[in-house]
A and B are shown apart, each in its own frame.
Chain A
C-alpha cells in the first residue's frame, strides 16, 4: 500500500472554529493546564488538550449554536452547567468535563433523542460512522425509559429527489447543523427549521423536494449532518470506506483539496479536506459528487488507429498505436518540413503532463508549435499582468478576500464558475464588505440572500476598456489616487503618460455613457467606493479576457489597482479567476509557443542555453504557432500533424466551421483523452487517457497554489498520461526515461527560478505550495509584489479603447455573449456523464422579454441563432437577467453548437477568441439548423466506427 493511503477515520472535529487571536489564555481542564488563543471555546480548548467533551450540535466548520445541551461542563465559581461550545475560555478558569452530575444530565439528553430515533443501527448506512451512535456510547446510554410508542417521526417520507444524496427525516435530531452549513459555509440559505418544538423539522426552500429547491447540491449539509438523515447515495450503496487518499479536484480553478474515501479501488465519497488550503473543508457539486465519469462505460481504454476519418477504428496494442503515430509524424515532417506538426495541451492536464508535452514538441518535434487551451481563456491575463506587474499570475491567496473592504467583480460569475471561492467571498460580503459588479448580466452575485451589490455596472458587451478607463478617470480627476504608492512603487514616466491619457475628457464617465450604456453617476460612485476603501480587491474572469481588447482590459485593471495602491498586501490585489483547474499551471509550464517554462521568451539566448543543456537539443529561437494559427495553417495545407492531449478544440474553440475544416485537413491527428470527444471524431489515433484518480502529478490553482494529485486507482488503460507522452517521444527518437512524475517536477524546479524550492517531499510536508517558492520564499508566496513588483517598478500602460469590429448591424442586431453554469464543466465531457445533467440537460438561449416579443418568441420555442460565422438552433428562455439587445448561452453540450455562431475575432495581443461578443440575429424556427443536422449524421457515423472497432476486437479476442 502506498504511503499516500491512510486508514479511514472520520476527520477530527474540534467542535468550534479556531480563534485567530494572538493573545494566549491559560486555564485548567480536568486538572490539565491548557493554553489557547483568546476567544477559543471551552469545547475546543478541551479538544486541543485531547479531552473529548460529548457534543452533537457543534462542529468546527460553524459558529456554535448551543442547542443540544450535551457538551455541558462545570466551571469553578460559575452557576449551573454552561454549554462548553458557547462558553469562551478565561484566564485561570477551572473546568470539569466529567463527573456524576454531568454524566446524568448527558444521559438524560441522549435518552430523549434516542426515544424519537429508529433503532435500526445495524442496517443504517452510517453504521460505524455516526456521531449519534458515538455519543450514545460516550454517555453510556443503557436504557430508554420513555419507550418508543410515544409520538415520533418514524413515518416521515424520504426525499430521494437529489441524485447524489438522500434525506431521511426519520433520523433527524433537529440539531440544525445542516441549516447552518447551508447558511454559513455555502451561503445559499436553502434550508430552514420549519415549525416549533416536537413538530420542528428540516425543510428545503418552501418545503420542496431538494432538487426543486434553491439547493445547489454542494453537499455541505450532508457532511455536517451527525446522523444518517442526510447521506450520500454512494455510501448507502457501497457502505463505509476503509482508506482514504488526499488529492485535488480536477474541475475548476479553485483547486479544492479532497479526501478520496475508498473501498479497495472504488471511490465511496469525495470529502473536501478540512486542511485544504484553497477550500478549508468546503466543495461544490462537481468536485464532491460528479466523479462517476471516471468509471463511465463510455471510457475508451484501448488504443485505436485508422488511416482516414471515414473508416472504422481498429483497436490495437499500445506498441502499434505509438509506432503508427511516430511513423506518421516522421513522414509528415520529412514531406512538409519540421514545422508541419505541433501539440496542444490542456488545462485539465497536470503540470508534469503539460511540461512533458511542451518538451516533446520542443525537443522531439524540434519546433515551438505548442499551445494550450488557456489560449482561448486566459492568455490575455498572462500578457497583461506580465506587462504591468511583471508576473503572469494573480497576486493573492483566496483567503485574502476575508480582509477586503470593497470587492469588485468584473466579468466573472463565481457562484457558478468558482463556487467554493464564491462561498468565501459571500461570507465576507455578509460581514459587510461592499460589492461592485461589472457585468452585462445580472449574475447571481448582484442579488442573493443577504447580499446586494452596491453598484452593478451593466455595460454593453465589448465596452470593458471604456469602463475601466472611465473608472480610472474618476480616480485621477477627483484626486483619489494613492500618490505615495505611485511615487514609491511605480515607474514615474509611464505613470505620467498614463495620467495624461486617462485625464483626457473623452475618458470621462459622462463621455462614454452612450457607448457603454452605464449611467455616469454609477461609474463615479463605484470608482469612489473602490478608491477610498482601505482594501479594495478586484476579481475578474473570462468576461475580461475573452474580448478583442482582453489584454488591454487586464492592463487597465492592473493600472487601476496600482493607482489606488491596492497591491502588495492582504485584502487587495488583482485576481484572475481561472476557469479550469490547471490553467495557471499549464501556462507556467511553458505551453505557449513563445515561452519556455516560467514565462521566459524563446528569443532569450541565456534561457535557451539552460534548456539546450538540460535537454541535449537546440531549442528554436522563434515563436511557433498558436492554436488559431495552427488551424489557419492546416486549412492552407501547411500544417499536417497534431497531438492533442486532454483538449476538445472541436467543441470549445470558436468558429466551428473553420475548426472542423482545419481538423479534417490533417494527415495525422492524435487525440489522448478519456472519451471519444468531438475532436477525436476527426482523429486518426486515439490514445486512452487516465482520469485524475488514476495518476500522480500536481495542479496549480488560480492563487498559484501547487497541490498534489494522487493516484487512488490503477489507470484503466494501463498508462498514466505522462507515460504515454514519454512512449511517443521515445518512438520519435528523443529519449525520455522518467520513472515517476516527481522526477519531472525535479526537472521543472532545476529549470524554473520561481519553482526551485518545489518538490514532492515538500508538497507532502506542507500540503500545498504557492509559487514563487525558492531560496527567497522557502515555503512559497501567498501574496505577491509585497515590497516591490516582480518587474521592479510597476508599469502603467496606456490603454486606448478600440471598439471591436464585431458590432451589431441591421442584419445582426443582437449581441450574443457566452458563459458557464454551476453543474456543468467546460465542454461537459465529464459532467455530462454524471447525474449533474439533472440540473442542466441542454444549453438554452436567454433572451430579454422585449426582444422576444418583437420576434414572437416564447419560452421553450426553438430559436435560430445566426451570425456571419454560422447558425444553430437553441431553445429560448425569456428572462430579464440579460438586458435588451443581448442574448446569452452556454456551451456545455456539443449539439447546441454555440461555437458554430462565434467568430474568429480575437484579442489583438494574444488571439484569445472574442467569445463574449458576437453580433447575431434570432428568429423562431421549427427545425434544427443545417449544421446540427450534419452534426447528427457525422456523430452517428463516428459512433458506428467506434462500435465496429469494439465488435472487431471481440471477434479477434
Chain B
C-alpha cells in the first residue's frame, strides 16, 4: 500500500482531533482512532514507516504512531 496516503490520512485525523491545550489528549485520541478504524496491515505499515524515521508525519500524528509502535513492542 502507498504509505504516503496513510501518512496523509494520519495527519488529517490528528488535525481534526486537535483542539485545546492538552496535546497529550489529542495524541491519545489520534492513536485510538487509528486502532479502531485501521486494519492491522495498515497500522503495521505506518509504524514501520515511522520507525524508518519519517519526516512527513505531523508532530501530533507522529506522536500517536509512536504510541502504536510502543504498544507493538510491548506485545512482542
A contacts, CB < 8 Å to B? 339, 368-369, 497, 501, 548-549, 552, 593-594, 601, 603, 622-626, 629, 632-633, 635-636, 638, 798, 800, 802, 904, 906, 908-911
Contacts and interface: CB of A to CB of B under 8 A. Distances in A.
Contacts of A625: 39
A683 B63 CA distance: 42
A101 B41 CA distance: 86
B33 to A, nearest CB: 7
B37 A623 contact: yes
Interface residues of B, number: 20
Contacts of A638: 1, 41
Contacts, number: 60
B2 interface: yes
Contacts of B1: 629, 632-633, 635-636, 638
Contacts of A798: 19-20
Contacts of A629: 1, 39, 42
Given A622-B40, A624-B39, A548 B12 contact: yes
Contacts of B36: 594, 601, 603, 623
Nearest to B2: A632
Given A798-B20, A802-B16, A908-B13, A635 B38 contact: no
A593 B41 CA distance: 14
B39 A800 contact: no
A622 B12 contact: no
- Most chain A CB neighbours (cut-off 10 Å) among B16, B18, B35, B39: B39
Contacts of B37: 594, 623, 626, 909-910
Contacts of A906: 9
A402 B11 CA distance: 44
Contact of B16 (A624, A904, A909): A909
B5 A632 contact: yes
Contacts of B40: 622
A908 B42 contact: no
B13 to A, nearest CB: 5
Interface string B7-51: 001001101101110000000000001011111111000000000
A497 B2 contact: no
B5 A904 contact: yes
A501 B5 CA distance: 30
Q: Which 5 A-B pairs have the closest CB atoms?
A: A908-B12, A908-B16, A636-B1, A798-B19, A632-B1
Nearest to B5: A632
B38 A908 contact: no
A908 B41 contact: no
A14 to B, nearest CB: 52
Contacts of B35: 603
Contacts of A911: 9
Nearest to B33: A909
A909 B2 contact: no
Interface of B: 1-2, 5, 9, 12-13, 15-16, 18-20, 33, 35-42
Nearest to A634: B1
Contacts of A623: 36-39
A36 B39 CA distance: 61
A636 B19 contact: no
A624 B4 CA distance: 20
Given A594-B36, A908-B13, A909-B33, 8 more contacts: A549-B16, A623-B38, A623-B39, A632-B1, A635-B2, A800-B19, A802-B16, A909-B13
B29 to A, nearest CB: 11
B2 A636 contact: yes
Given A497-B20, A798-B20, A800-B19, A633 B13 contact: no
Contacts of B20: 497, 501, 798
Contacts of A800: 16, 18-19
A497 B21 CA distance: 12
Of the candidates B33, B35, B42, the one having the most CB atoms from chain A within 10 angstroms of its own CB is: B42
Given A633-B1, A636-B1, A339 B16 contact: no
B61 to A, nearest CB: 11
B21 to A, nearest CB: 11
Nearest to B41: A339
A620 to B, nearest CB: 9
A501 B12 CA distance: 20
A540 to B, nearest CB: 19
A549 B15 CA distance: 11
A633 to B, nearest CB: 5
Interface centre among B5, B9, B12 (most CB of A within 10 A): B12
Nearest to A601: B36
A501 B19 contact: yes
A633 B38 contact: no
28 contacts: A339-B41, A497-B20, A501-B19, A548-B12, A549-B16, A552-B16, A593-B39, A622-B39, A623-B37, A623-B39, A624-B39, A625-B39, A632-B1, A632-B2, A632-B5, A633-B1, A633-B41, A635-B2, A636-B1, A798-B19, A798-B20, A800-B16, A802-B12, A802-B15, A802-B16, A906-B9, A908-B16, A909-B37
A166 B28 CA distance: 65
B52 to A, nearest CB: 17
A633 B41 CA distance: 10
Nearest to A593: B39
Nearest to B14: A908
Nearest to A337: B41
Contacts of A908: 9, 12-13, 15-16
A623 B42 CA distance: 10
B47 to A, nearest CB: 14
A629 B46 CA distance: 14
B14 to A, nearest CB: 9
A625 B1 CA distance: 12
A625 B43 CA distance: 11
A638 B39 CA distance: 13
A623 B5 CA distance: 18
A603 B34 CA distance: 13
A621 to B, nearest CB: 10
